[in-house]
Amino acid sequence: MGKFRVFVMIVLFAAVPQVTKAGWFRILGGDQMDAASCVQEISEGGYIVSGWTEIDENDDIWLLKFNEDGDTVWTKTFGNGLAYYVQQTSDGGYILTGKPHTLLKTDPNGEIIWSRSYFSNTFEMARCIHQTADGGYIVLIWNPYDLCYTQLLKTDKDGDTLWTRTYQASGGTLGTNMQQTVDGGYIITGYKRPYPSSETSYNLWLSKLDSDGSTLWQKNFSSTMPLTEGMYVQQTSDGGFIVTGYTGEKDSSGSWNQQNMLLLKTDTQGNKIWIRTYEEFGRDVGNCIQQIKDGNYVVAGRQGIAKFDETGDVIWRRESEDLVWYAFFNETQEGDFIICGLILHLDSEKNQYLSNLYLLKTNSQGIVEVNEQPFVLNKTKWKIKTVVAPIINIQYSDHLSGFHALIFDASGRKVDEIHSTSESGIVTWGEGFTPGVYFTRPMTDVSTAKKVVLIK
């Protein structure tokens, strides 16, 4: 195994004089592709993180323990594979799931006790896992490729199979997330494709199961665009369910034209109470949602974190100035947030973007510095209407001082500026520029740069 370089970066958002910190963030990894998939607060204080790291051009499962201040206690790698989910178990150890290991059990120090693989198909992978009341485990497995199906696997405490259930519609059914419910059953969300199978149209799928994995009910939901998927589900305090995900559409080449974050609230039987989409966020996907202690909802999306009230109205939203993808979060015992994902950086020699593991701790307002202000939504009322085209169209609204943006090439070099004095409208860009990948972001907004591709 080749050498692996780990670095820790602590960055202060503000210039001197230094202000009081409300949180922190850490960046770890080498010079390849590294990412965090899941983070949990643990019983002794601190956090456990799962993910993967690239070593010698292979992805290795990565398990990391941090103390409450974000300092690394230990890290472990477990050979080729990916870890999508981790949970602390009742004995103080950890259980991971992903691929090729359906289950990987460790002691409290991250040393492997046992591992199991139940995959019958090379395309199968385990998405999430929970320890059940009997000390065993419930695992969500999916196959997104050849047969497009979802499985639920129940094991005992040693990982031996007790039962499996398969859920497959005529066009295909994929479960992306599963949670245990208060009645001892399970709730799954994902998407369901029509028959014949199609990647140009599918609906959000929500299915309630009993403790044996038998289906009690299932619902399909569409939204403003033809592709709608649930990425994460949680049972709410009223016994119903809250789901986050996206609605979007693709062009003829399979590239995304548009993706908007989506929230769905249902009653206990899966009947829709409300469904909301957030075009004002730009291209974004809700990856994880939780109802927090005050009864409201917080979502970790690909572009930032946001808080919503019980009707889906935005309370605040926080974005990063960097190219960060938020994958998962949890509310801590103190009511703060611990968030993980990846951060992209440009390797100028390879002329490509690489990623590092990203771990972020904020206060209950999603703030790292106490002098930060919550994100003002009207600053981000802009979107790329044509992402891949000979001329790029950018639509914006409610910019009282006009719209002003920077354009960067793939190396990160600024190549142009866009200026419009109108409060709302559409601006175009690209004429006279070489085809290729570019990034644009407003000059004054704290917004993630958005990628565009110029073609002939």
The string of DSSP codes covering 88-156 is E-TTS-EEEEEES-SEEEE-TTS-EEEEE---SSTT-EEEEEEE-TTS-EEEEEEE-SSS-EEEEEEE-
What would the pLDDT profile of 340-368 be if each residue is shown by its tens digit? 999 987 777 777 888 999 999 999 999 98
**CA 138 vs CA 131, 233, 448: distances in Å:** 6, 16, 37
What would the pLDDT profile of 144-187 be if each residue is shown by its tens digit? 776 789 999 999 999 999 999 999 877 788 999 999 999 999 99
103-106 vs 58-66, strand pairing mode: unpaired
- DSSP H or E segment with residue 181: none
The DSSP secondary-structure symbol of 222 reads: -
Q: Is 433 part of a structural domain of the chain?
A: yes
Domain end call among 284, 306, 328: 306
Three-class secondary structure of residue 280 per DSSP? helix
Q: Is 95 part of a structural domain of the chain?
A: no
So what's the pLDDT on residue 107?
98
Q: Which two tokens stand for residue 261?
A: 């974050």
Are residues 150 and 105 both part of a single domain?
A: no
So what's the pLDDT on residue 405?
84
Are residues 293 and 419 both part of a single domain?
A: no
- The per-residue pLDDT of the chain, averaged, comes to 86
Largest CA distance in the chain: 66
DSSP string, 350-379: TTEEEEEEEEEEE-TTS-SBTT--PBPGGG
Q: Is 314 part of a structural domain of the chain?
A: no
**What does pTM read for this prediction?**
0.77
How far apart are the C-alpha atoms of 28 and 193, rounded to whole Å? Answer: 38
So what's the pLDDT on residue 449?
66
Q: Is 90 part of a structural domain of the chain?
A: no
Q: Is 350 part of a structural domain of the chain?
A: yes
From the list 82, 113, 52, 37, the residue with the least C-alpha distance to 300 is 37
Q: Is it true that the peptide bond before 17 is cis, omega within 30 degrees of 0?
A: yes
What would the pLDDT profile of 82-135 be if each residue is shown by its tens digit? 999 999 999 999 999 998 878 999 999 999 999 999 877 777 899 999 999 999
Compare 320 and 269 and report the one with higher pLDDT.
269
What would the pLDDT profile of 392-416 be if each residue is shown by its tens digit? 988 888 776 678 888 877 666 778 8
So what's the pLDDT on residue 29?
85
Q: CB within 8 A of 226, min separation 6: which ones? A: 200, 201, 202, 249
Are residues 299 and 331 both part of a single domain?
A: no
How far apart are the C-alpha atoms of 106 and 115, rounded to whole Å? Answer: 9
Q: CB within 8 A of 257, min separation 6: which ones? A: 248, 249, 250, 251, 386, 387
Going by pLDDT thresholds of 50, 70 and 90, the confidence category of residue 15 is: very low
Q: Which domain holds residue 273?
A: 118-306
Going by pLDDT thresholds of 50, 70 and 90, the confidence category of residue 456 is: confident
Q: Which two tokens stand for residue 72?
A: 């690394």
Q: Is residue 118 exposed (0-12), middle (13-18) or buried (19+ Cβ within 10 Å)?
A: middle
Are residues 193 and 300 both part of a single domain?
A: yes
pLDDT exceeds 60 at position 378:
no
Are residues 146 and 295 both part of a single domain?
A: yes
User: How many domains, in total, are found in the chain?
Assistant: 3
Q: Which residue has the tokens 């006009």?
A: 402
Q: Is 178 part of a structural domain of the chain?
A: yes
Q: CB within 8 A of 449, min separation 6: which ones? A: 323, 408, 439, 440, 441
Phi, psi for residue 167 in degrees, rounded to 5: -125, 115
Three-class secondary structure of residue 326 per DSSP? strand
The DSSP secondary-structure symbol of 177 reads: E
Are residues 291 and 146 both part of a single domain?
A: yes
Are residues 1 and 131 both part of a single domain?
A: no
Are residues 204 and 130 both part of a single domain?
A: yes
So what's the pLDDT on residue 380?
52
Are residues 286 and 183 both part of a single domain?
A: yes
Q: What is the dihedral of CA 93, 98, 100, 105, to 10 degrees?
A: 10
Q: CB within 8 A of 419, min separation 6: which ones? A: 402, 403, 404
Are residues 193 and 162 both part of a single domain?
A: yes
How far apart are the C-alpha atoms of 444 and 249, rounded to whole Å? Answer: 29
Q: Is 75 part of a structural domain of the chain?
A: yes
